Structure 1
């Protein structure tokens, strides 16, 4: 395995600092969902359906706000957006614990729309700091970093909440997000390289959303549909076997496989087609429902887990190359919206199927849904001239058949 791609990435000016700042800034953002859910259930004495409504409105706000904030970054620069979203986050988390439930709903929507855009900003900045030939390794590192923050953030929020209160946790979370925004504002990572700023590529809106980009975004939403559905499926399978206490161990094993897969993908001599990776992610998720014990579930999820980080890294890489630099912020905003949309659809859809047909069918729906969307995207891009893919799809498929890692 070649480690040179990673050495080149870390040697680039500003990259290591960006990744470290991103790692710290993302931790509180990943804890937003679980904190709001537990606040509604514990403090407001509402059910999980009510908590789901707050999460849904927050998610919808994020999906709608992402492209708008990204376009604002393209036109006005990063710091005004960071200032706006940091102040908005401080206000939201300061007042949210005191709001009655009916008022929390619209405020959660606005708070979601003005969420600190740390994920899209980091991806946009990596595209500016890292040359094309090393960008796949950079996005692999970023995907592994995201995996770590999702392992740490929600768990840390639960620990703090159970030892203090939901209200105190919300105020602490707001402080942490504000500090993250201040840190990013002080760092002010570049969103375009010097060459890209000098090129002055046109910024018409039609250059952002086009059929090729929409196809990729649909596949991205399909991949996060798989991931969100797997989360629900894990709990359902373990509940059926009366092993819910092992949920954390299974999720850690799944995430650990993702870290390994992301590391291997970034070091490969040639990339795979992102659509092939996403299709395999879905297909390899489907057997998870066959597990009758937590150890078997860990083993059955390892093959799909190995493809989680590569799916995110490859999609980030391809989108960063598809649009001109002056509109990359909006494109990354749409990318974040696709990630959010897939996640928001995956959990309720899979939960619906599990309630009616059993836990095994939840994995079938999650995997099949993502695989079908990815395969359709692969077919569409093969037929469309100038289809976006790091390598031609036939080569990628041949690599899989030859036993490529």
Structure 2
């Protein structure tokens, strides 16, 4: 593994400050789920079922909204999208402490629909700042940044919520999103690389949304199914033995393994394609249940499958950025975000049902098997004709 390519990418103009900005900008969204759950379940005293409904409403909104915001970027530019999205997001989070439950439920969906899609924005800008030959390394940097944000964001949010109040934490998220949005608006980074041709009419969706790119989106959904099912099953495993206090350590092991995987993926010369990465993740998840009842063994068994996490995020982003035309990249990466959201929505309940019937080991096993089936579907889609926008295959 050679880390020199990471240094070369970070030395490119605007890449390093943008990567730092996106690291902080993604921390508030990473904390929203746990903060909303604590606020509804504890502060509003509505219970965790009601909190789950608020989270589900926001998730559905994000799944629908990410492509819409991406389309707005493609047609009107980043600043137009930020004007709408940052205003809506900041207004919601700053006034959320004043809302009753039902108002919070409805507006959670709306803010998901109009919220700032920080994940797709980061991927789109990083592809615009680096030449195509270095895109894999740059997206590996971006996926590592995502993992770091998800390690720090929830912890910071819980600290504010427990040290002060959930209302203070909600307002802190609002202020953070507002600041990050203003900085992005001021920086106004490019959304298409200067070497890419963007002249002519914008292509219609059906002209490029074909087999291979649909296959990559299916891989994204399968990845999210595996990861969400893993998280639910890990929580159930710890709760079963009364070791919930070790949850932070287990999640740290997951994120650390993903970061290592991202470094390896970006530093080697030959890499497996997205289908192989998903097959490896799914297959390695099936035996994780053998660690049920032993925290250390569980952490060790979670490491191999999580080594595939950051590489899968980077590889899928790289393929989508190549397969979609530059003038439709915002929509395509928004659809990638939606695919992850759909996978999250599917993985959690499937794992939950399996856990209820067979315990945490069944949860790990069933989502692993589903991941393998999804990989098979994606492989069939990848055999279809190439999209007109690119001659890149999923095996490149």
Both structures adopt the same fold (TM-score exceeding 0.5): yes
Per the alignment, residue 376 of structure 1 pairs with 377
> Is the aligned partner of 1:334 residue 2:335?
yes
The answer to whether the 8 A contact 2:214-2:381 is kept is: no
CA separation in 2, counterparts of 1:224 and 1:287? Answer: 18
Deviations 1:199-234 (A, max 9, x none): 446432323533332221111011011111111111
CA separation in 2, counterparts of 1:389 and 1:227? Answer: 30
What secondary structure, in the 3-state scheme, does the structure 1 residue paired with 2:195 have?
helix
> Is the aligned partner of 1:102 residue 2:102?
yes
Deviation of the 1:182 alpha carbon: 0.6
CA separation in 2, counterparts of 1:364 and 1:278? Answer: 15
Deviations 1:147-181 (A, max 9, x none): 01001111111111011111111111111111111
Per the alignment, residue 245 of structure 1 pairs with 245
Deviation of the 1:374 alpha carbon: 1.4
CA separation in 2, counterparts of 1:5 and 1:189? Answer: 22
Deviation of the 1:193 alpha carbon: 1.9
What secondary structure, in the 3-state scheme, does the structure 2 residue paired with 1:271 have?
coil
Deviation of the 1:197 alpha carbon: 5.2
CA separation in 2, counterparts of 1:58 and 1:227? Answer: 19
Change (3 A) 1:198 1:313: closer
What secondary structure, in the 3-state scheme, does the structure 2 residue paired with 1:272 have?
coil
The answer to whether the 8 A contact 2:261-2:311 is kept is: yes
Per the alignment, residue 231 of structure 1 pairs with 231
CA separation in 2, counterparts of 1:86 and 1:13? Answer: 26
Deviation of the 1:132 alpha carbon: 1.5
Which has the larger displacement, 209-218 or 185-194? Answer: 209-218
CA separation in 1, counterparts of 2:288 and 2:394? Answer: 30
- Aligned counterparts, 1:153-164, within 5 A: 153-164=153-164
The answer to whether the 8 A contact 2:219-2:278 is kept is: yes
The answer to whether the 8 A contact 2:124-2:329 is kept is: yes
Per the alignment, residue 403 of structure 1 pairs with none
The answer to whether the 8 A contact 2:212-2:394 is kept is: no
TM-score between both structures, scaled by the size of structure 1: 0.93
RMSD: 1.7
Aligned length: 393
Per the alignment, residue 256 of structure 1 pairs with 256
> Is the aligned partner of 1:273 residue 2:273?
yes
Per the alignment, residue 366 of structure 1 pairs with 367
- Aligned counterparts, 1:209-220, within 5 A: 209-220=209-220
Which has the larger displacement, 384-393 or 183-192? Answer: 384-393
Per the alignment, residue 314 of structure 2 pairs with 313
Per the alignment, residue 36 of structure 2 pairs with 36
The answer to whether the 8 A contact 2:198-2:326 is kept is: no
CA separation in 1, counterparts of 2:321 and 2:259? Answer: 22
Per the alignment, residue 323 of structure 2 pairs with 322
Per the alignment, residue 294 of structure 2 pairs with 293
CA separation in 1, counterparts of 2:353 and 2:314? Answer: 30
> Is the aligned partner of 1:126 residue 2:126?
yes
The answer to whether the 8 A contact 1:8-1:134 is kept is: no
CA separation in 1, counterparts of 2:198 and 2:334? Answer: 23
The answer to whether the 8 A contact 1:278-1:311 is kept is: yes
Per the alignment, residue 182 of structure 1 pairs with 182
TM-score between both structures, scaled by the size of structure 2: 0.95
The answer to whether the 8 A contact 1:63-1:340 is kept is: yes
Deviation of the 1:29 alpha carbon: 1.2
The answer to whether the 8 A contact 1:216-1:315 is kept is: yes
Per the alignment, residue 355 of structure 1 pairs with 356
Change (3 A) 1:389 1:338: farther
Q: Extract unaligned runs of 5+ from structure 2.
A: none
Which has the larger displacement, 372-381 or 193-202? Answer: 193-202
Per the alignment, residue 203 of structure 1 pairs with 203
What secondary structure, in the 3-state scheme, does the structure 1 residue paired with 2:344 have?
helix
What secondary structure, in the 3-state scheme, does the structure 2 residue paired with 1:195 have?
coil
CA separation in 2, counterparts of 1:208 and 1:357? Answer: 43
CA separation in 1, counterparts of 2:162 and 2:104? Answer: 22
